[in-house]
Every structure is written in structure tokens, then in C-alpha cells.
Amino acid sequence: MSQLILTTDHGAVRVLTINRPDKLNALNRATLEALHAAFDAAAADEAVRALVLTGSGGKAFVAGADIAEMSGLSAVQARDFSLVGQRLMRRMERMPKPVVAMINGFALGGGLELAMCCHLRIAADTAKLGLPEVTLGLLPGFGGSQRLLRLVGRAFALELTLTGAPVDAARALELGLVNRVVPADGLDAETMALATKLAANAPLAMRGILDAIHVGGECAIDDGLEYESAQFGLAFSTADAREGMTAFLERRKPAFDNR
């Protein structure tokens, strides 16, 4: 059987490619578990400072969950499948390193849920994004209803989930569902340029930022402000902060080494 997740490193950037092109990279249980293992490995590897997630085959980022596998599940098995997906999504959004979704085609259902867990999203101008579960008599099961609400607001979250209709990349950008839209033939270069820029930043500072924004999105503002101050103070204990400020004063480029 072919590898479900292809891993390639470009300097400090690790690219994870979901590799089920014959199934439009649909997410079955084995793929969810392989992704979880891949993110665990990337988190533990100090040489990796940023990640890119994409799909193979050119047609799809991920076209959804694997309906062929799902159709035979009992109610209890379906709940367990949902929990496997939700654990992966939670793992991804709590990654201590920035993750960029390179949306190279369809990102539907579980595929959009996967993209929404990435910290940044860049879409090809040919991409289509949506949560069509309602058209199957279902609803999102990997956290889509909750993350879509937080990304685009109540009105558009309801529109997208209740109609099940996908949107094109331009509309996704208007809604705030993606950060950038680029021509399809420039998607790889644009995404790698962004990921390389992220990888050059201070890793511990990026971790603090990711934590602060994640925590702030789930708590009252006073609690978020207190958490930010704590992270700000903690940054001053790092060698990278001393290097960054010294380099600024000396008018040179900093050399961060994750300490």
C-alpha cells in the first residue's frame, strides 16, 4: 500500500502531503491516524520550524471524509470516528509551530475542517471550499460547525452549513475563510515563500503567539490579556529575544536558534 502521508523537508519547512489521489485524498480512519503521527513527529523535530499541509494529485486538497468507509458505521462507530478526527484537528491547531494549508483544489467537508485547523490558509484561485454534509443527511463531525463560526461569524457559518453549497476561492477570501488567493500555477511558490519566512522567525516567540491567540479565542478578554502578559514576560528569558533586540540595535539580521 502506498504511503498515506508523504513527508518532504525544505530546509526548516516540512511539507506533509495527503496521498490518496485516487480518492481525492478523502479522510478515512487510517489517514487521520497517519496525519496525527506526522504532526506528532514534526512537533518533536527541532529542525522543523514551519509546516505546509496539502493534498496530492492536483484536483483536491481533501474532498471530504471517506463516504465509502463512513456509510457502514453504526451510530457508536460514527461517534468514535468523529472523535478520532476531532483529536487530530485539536492536535493541529495546538501545534507549537505554524501550519499553512496549501489548498490546491477541493476542500470540502472534512477537507475544509482540516484546513480550518491550520493557522494560515492559501488557496489556488481554482479551489472550491464548503461543508456539504447536510446534503448527505449529516452535519460536520470534525469540528467544522465550531471553527467556521469563529472564522466567518454566525450568519455565514449558518449559510454555508445549512445550504451545503461550496464557495469559490474569491468568496472564501471575502468571508475570511482563507488568508490569500493566488493563481493556481503560483500556489507552490507563494506557499513555500510564506512558510520559509515563518521558519526564519524566532520559534519560541511564534509558539507564544500561537498559544496567546488560541487561548484568547476561547476565553474572556481580561484572561487573554493576562495570558499575553505572561507570555510576553516569558519571552524575555530566551536567548532568541536577546539576539533579536541586539540585532535590531546593531542593525543586522537576527540569527535565532530556538533557545
Question: Which residue of the set 33, 69, 93, 133 is catalytic?
Answer: 133
Give catalytic status of residue 33 as yes or no. no
Among 113, 226, 243, 250, the one annotated catalytic: 113
174 is a catalytic site residue: no
Residue by residue, what is the 3-state secondary structure of the chain? Answer: CCCCEEEEEECCEEEEEECCHHHCCCECHHHHHHHHHHHHHHHHCCCCCEEEEEECCCCEEECCECHHHHCCCCHHHHHHHHHHHHHHHHHHHCCCCCEEEEECCEEECHHHHHHHHCCEEEEECCCEEECCHHHHCCCCCCCHHHHHHHHHCHHHHHHHHHHCCCEEHHHHHHHCCCCEEECHHHHHHHHHHHHHHHHCCCHHHHHHHHHHHHHHCCCCHHHHHHHHHHHHHHHCCCHHHHHHHHHHHCCCCCCCCCC
CA distances from 76 to 70, 73, 82, 120 (A): 12, 8, 10, 33
List residues with catalytic annotation: 113, 133
